[in-house]
Structure formats: C-alpha cells, structure tokens
Structure 1
Amino acid sequence: MNQPDYYQLLEVPRSASAEDIKKSYRKLAMKYHPDHSGGDKGSEEKFKRISEAYAVLSDAEKRRQYDTYGSTDFHQRYTQEDIFKNFDFSSIFEDLGFGGSGFSFFGNPRQSKGRFSFGDHTGCSRRQAPPQRGKDLYIDISLTLREIATGTSRTVTLKHTGRPERISVKIPKGMIHGKKLRLAGKGNPGSFQGPPGDLYIRSSVLPDSRFRAEDFDLHVDGEIRLSESILGTTIGVPTIDGGELNLHIPPGTRHKTRMRLPGYGLPHMNDDGSGDLYVVILVRVPDQLTDSQRSLVEKLAETGL
C-alpha cells in the first residue's frame, strides 16, 4: 500500500521550517476539523491524515527518520501508536477553539463535540510487527576479460533508502558474465530490529579486441599463409595473462580449424580449475599474386595440387 507524502498533505515543501509546518497545519485543521466539516466523511479522513503528518513533521527526530527512510519504510518502522505517542494536540486545538481535552488518538474512529479519535486509516489496528529482514540490493558491474582472469576491485555506491554509502569490493577471479558475488549484510536495513539484506554484485563482460569468451573458455584467431596451411608451421598465440604460447600447426590444416589449448582459458570462480583456449586457424588467401607467384601456382596446379 502506498503511503501518503506528509509534506504534500500539509502543503509545504520538504525544506519548510517547523514554524511553517505549524502554520500550515493550523490552517488545514481549521478547514477539515469535524466541528467545521459538518460530519463530512472525506473531511474527517483528511483531518486524520494531516494530524498524523503534523505529529511526525513537528517532531525533529521523527521528521529526520521520515526524511531518511522515506514514507513506505517509515511506516514499516513506526506504528500509529509510535507516531502519536506523547504527542499533545491540546494547546493547538485550544487556540483553534475546539477545546483542549478529551482527545484520544487510537481506537475506532469516532467524532463528537470537542473530541476526535485517530484510528488506523485502513480500518484495523496496527500492532508491532515482528522483525523483518531488509531487502537485498543488486549492483551490476562490467569487467574486462583480463580483470576476470586476475581479479580486481571496484568502488560501488549502495543506494540504501535515504543514505548512499560507498564501499570497496574485492572482485575474485573467474567472475564471468552472469556470476553473482554475495556480500552478507550489506543490503537494505531491516525493520523492527530485523537483520539487513544482502548485497549481490552481478557481472557482465566488456568486448575484447582479441579474445571471445564462452563461459570459461576463450577463443582467439590465428592467421597463417596458404603455404603454411599446406606445409605446416608454428605460430605464437597470445594468452589472457599477457603471455604467448607456441602452437604447432600440422601440414594440411584447413581454414577455420579449431585447436585446443587446455587450461589456458578463464579461471573458475570457486575452484582451481580453468577453461580452455581455442585457436581458430584462419588461412589467409592473397587477393592478388605477383607474376612469379602465379607462375609457381600454375606449375603446382599442373602437378595435381
């Protein structure tokens, strides 16, 4: 259920002073008090709501809590008994000419000359709720493949209701796309002395100029010449940690052949294993030939190659 905004109810800005809040409440109370509204149910409800708003915003500590947590969370933390506890409208109502005694703030709504009772607006009494766990928070981060391979850290802003908090988070290696890192107790605060929720960091992978990731496996292209595909060769293959491996290409290797290098992919997040590195062999065929190259190819063709 959406809770009303107390500032809107009292028709004041959030920056209003205590005196401005009091003046606005007195004005609205004169308009909606049951002694002036002739028993109109809408006015009666409005009077209850503005009185509740005034009971909160005229109290410095309650107002601070309301501004900090927002309307919905405030109502999860405070019952109506809490809101009206030790609050005395008598002097205000005396100034307005409604009498200064006989005001009850709980129970079934009732109206009579000089007295009015404030019950729960939903038509039922609210009791102290049991401890409630706070909601979990989710933050998305983008990582390079190198960061996933080695681990890194990030400073993130936790958008707790009303109070942002910046913390440094250690990102373990192996946090590939879609993985979640749980930080217990770093979520939204609980209600009624309940425990806080958890914070979940979710990862996505930034594009890389050389490597393509598929879960923990990596794919990289390795170019060779046409003659090398026929005769065989050895090429250097980059690794995600910045190193290089020598890969033997056997004679007769075809275009787009995949060659596997076990254990040279991305590290697993929760164990010592790693994915594999796949080298996709691309046979480079020249667009143009020199006269001597053409002559040699023609001779090879004559041999049946």
Structure 2
Amino acid sequence: MAKRDFYEVLGVARGASADEIKKAYRKKAKELHPDRNSDNPNAEAQFKEVNAAYEALKDPDKKAAYDRFGHAAFEGGMGGGPRPGGPGFGGGGDFASAFSNVFDDLFGDFMGGGPGGRQRATRGSDLRYNLRIKLEDAYRGLQKTINVPGSVACDICSGTGAAGGAEPATCPTCSGMGKVRAQQGFFTVERTCPTCGGMGQIIKNPCKACGGAGRVEKDRALSVNIPPGVETGTRIRLAGEGEAGLRGGPPGDLYIFIEVADHPIFERDGVTLFCRVPVSLTTAALGGEIEVPTIDGGRSRVKVPEGSQSGKQMRLRGKGIPALRGGGHGDLLIELAVETPVNLTARQKELLREFEELSEENNPEGSSFFRKVKSFWEGMKS
C-alpha cells in the first residue's frame, strides 16, 4: 500500500511554516490518540503515521530531503536518514516509543525537557531581613551595619564544588540531562535524576570545605544606607547579597523590609506629622504662646489664639517628614488639648463658681448645643 504524503497526513500545505506544522501535529495527535478512540481499531496505526510525518517535517534537513525526493529520501540510499516505520521515527517500534515523542513535543516546554531544561549552576535564594528603626531615623536617614546569616561562595574551590579546581563530569545516569524517564504503559514519566539531583553533572572529587555544594554557611556584616523618608513596608533591595549560588551559580538578592517604631510624641501619616499638645484652661481662654517639639530635635513657639477649643489644629509648614524620592518635607500639625484643672483648692473652687456665674454668655458652643437639644425635645412632645 502506497504511503500517504506527509503533508496530507498532517493536513497542511507544502509551504507550511514550522509553527503551522507543529500546531497541526498537536491537533492530530490529540484527535487520534488511541485512548480517545477505543472504538477505532485503526487509531494506533493512524497515530503512528502522524508521528512519522511530524518526525520528518519538523527537522529542516529531513524536510528539505522529503520535499525533493518524497518518501524515497528515507529509503534505500537516498540520504541514509531514518525511514518512516524505522527506529529513527519510532514508528516501527512499540506504541509507547512513539508516544514518548508526542509527550516531548506536547509537554516538553512545561516539564523542562531536553538539554535546555537543566540547570547546572543554580541561582542562590533571595533573603529577607526585617529592620526596625526609630521615627527620627526615618526622618534623617541612617547608615546601619547589619549581620546577615546565610551562605557564601566557598573560597577553597572558588564556588565550583570540586577539589583542586577539577571540572565536574557529566552524570552517567542521565547523560547530562538532569532528568530520567521511566516507561509506564503508554506514558513516559520524567523525574529528576537521583544521581546528580537534576544538575546534569557530578563531582568525582568534591571539595572538603563545602562538601561539593560550592558554598558554605557564614555570617556577613553589611552596611545599609536607609534613605530619609522611609516608612513601614518600605523595601530596599541589595542585588547579589542573598544566598550564594550552587556550584558557581549567581547569588540571590537581599531584601530589607523597614518597620518604623511608634513614637511617644509624634504620629505619622505619610509625610505629615501630628503632635497633640495640652494647654491650660486659662491659656486657651486668654490666648498665649506654647513651645512645641519638632522631629529634628528642635523646638518652635506657637501662638494660641484667644478662645481656642480642644481639637483646634495649627500647621507648622515643612516640619514633617521628607518625601522618600524628593519633593520637600511634609507639615507638622499641632492639635490643642484643653486641660481641665484637677485637685483644686477651696479658693480655686470658689473663684471658678464665681466665674461660672459671670460666664453665661461666654460659652457659644455650649449655648448653641443646648438650644438644639431644647428644640429636639419640644419636637418629640408634639
């Protein structure tokens, strides 16, 4: 029986691109898989035919030979390449061998198959360091030395993991692939090579200092520059200061997460600071000046207007936190808290009662509130 044209088998034109051929092959392979066609006795043969066609057309050299000579290119001396149905195509062998090729093409990208899927030198892990600082440090910035536990490249073997500068050898179990395959029925299962741990290489004479890992545990002292304006949650990245890579791989990064501690005097909201300052009853009533602290360690005098109430805010411009990436400073908001005197003497109480009798018209907020209350009660009665 004459062999069908490979392009016809895949359902593509002769001028189809490599991507079009691959896409058509995947579609056909799924459609004709015997597991999906248990009622079709020809499914396995058709599946092998599709596999053979793709094996010929996916390779540029084989495709060029087939375009010129047809099926004769793979038979009897016309190029010496594998023929459909022969060992090179997996068509003449068992069905599992054919399906192994399908598995590679359909799932190789996800499983990391093929020589490009292995990693001989592995990048080191990233590290996280939590740093707690004062609000004053967040205001002015800080240069701080921190101790970071982790791994560094082994000095003895220069990070290669091999003693005496020897080169790692190709793993004999996986032939450098880093993965091994086991046949289970129709399926080929791919696993990490147990001999080399997926590295693709083994070290016959490992370095005694690091045991062949290429890195050793060691604490490091790092100087960190904390810029002005940082706040809780700010993340600072130090490239290359994380864990050392495995067998000469690149190091990871170190991420410093900032936490700004609460302050006993100031509260912060972005670049704005708040400070609640108590004032005496007489100062609030008569007016005057108070002295307030600022985050830079200085002090400022603030004028309290006559008749100030609790909660009144006054703004000191430029006395807040600097913006992290420039743009000036925020403001400091002073909030007045009018204090009620306690532990009064008899004379003080007498004076306050006398003051109360003379102050009926001196409490505008209270008078306004009780007028509203009176109106509310009258409304409820009606």
CA distance in 2, matches of 1:262, 1:133: 49
Aligned to 1:207: 262
Tell me, what secondary structure is at the counterpart of 2:129?
A: strand
Q: Is the 8 A contact 1:136 1:187 kept in 2?
A: yes
Residue 229 (structure 1) aligned with residue 284 (structure 2): yes
Cα deviations by residue, 1:137-175 (Å, 9 ceiling, x for unpaired): 111111111111111222222222323212121222212
Cα deviations by residue, 1:233-285 (Å, 9 ceiling, x for unpaired): 11111001110011111122111323222221122221142222122211111
Aligned to 1:154: 144
CA distance in 2, matches of 1:269, 1:130: 41
Larger of the two Rg values belongs to structure: 2
CA distance in 1, matches of 2:122, 2:281: 69
List alignment gaps of at least 5 residues for structure 1: 1-123
Aligned to 1:243: 298
Aligned to 1:136: 126
Query: Does 1 or 2 have the higher relative contact order (CA < 8 Å, sep 6+)?
Result: 2
Aligned to 1:170: 225
Aligned to 2:135: 145
Aligned length: 183
Q: Give the AA of the match of 1:175.
A: V
Tell me, what secondary structure is at the counterpart of 2:279?
A: strand
CA distance in 1, matches of 2:347, 2:311: 28
CA distance in 2, matches of 1:216, 1:137: 29
Q: CA deviation at 1:128?
A: 4.5
Residue 183 (structure 1) aligned with residue 235 (structure 2): no
> After TM superposition, what 4+ stretches of structure 1 lie above 6 angstroms from structure 2?
124-127
Aligned to 1:268: 323
Q: Give the AA of the match of 1:134.
A: G
Percent identity over the alignment? 33
CA distance in 2, matches of 1:280, 1:249: 11
CA distance in 2, matches of 1:269, 1:194: 34
Aligned to 1:299: 354
Q: Give the AA of the match of 1:142.
A: R
Tell me, what secondary structure is at the counterpart of 2:323?
A: coil
Cα deviations by residue, 1:165-205 (Å, 9 ceiling, x for unpaired): 12121222212211111212212233565432221111112
Q: Give the AA of the match of 2:129.
A: I
CA distance in 2, matches of 1:208, 1:136: 32
Cα deviations by residue, 1:33-69 (Å, 9 ceiling, x for unpaired): xxxxxxxxxxxxxxxxxxxxxxxxxxxxxxxxxxxxx
Q: CA deviation at 1:206?
A: 2.1
Q: How is 1:1-305 mapped onto 2 (pairs within 5 angstroms)?
A: 128-129=118-119, 132-161=122-151, 162-191=217-246, 194-303=249-358, 304=360, 305=362
CA distance in 2, matches of 1:193, 1:257: 64
Q: Give the AA of the match of 1:250.
A: P
CA distance in 2, matches of 1:276, 1:190: 46
Q: CA deviation at 1:217?
A: 2.2
Q: Is the 8 A contact 1:177 1:215 kept in 2?
A: no
Q: Give the AA of the match of 2:316.
A: L
Q: Is the 8 A contact 1:176 1:216 kept in 2?
A: no
Q: Give the AA of the match of 1:253.
A: S
Structure 1 stretch displaced more, 240-249 or 150-159: 150-159
Q: Give the AA of the match of 1:209.
A: P
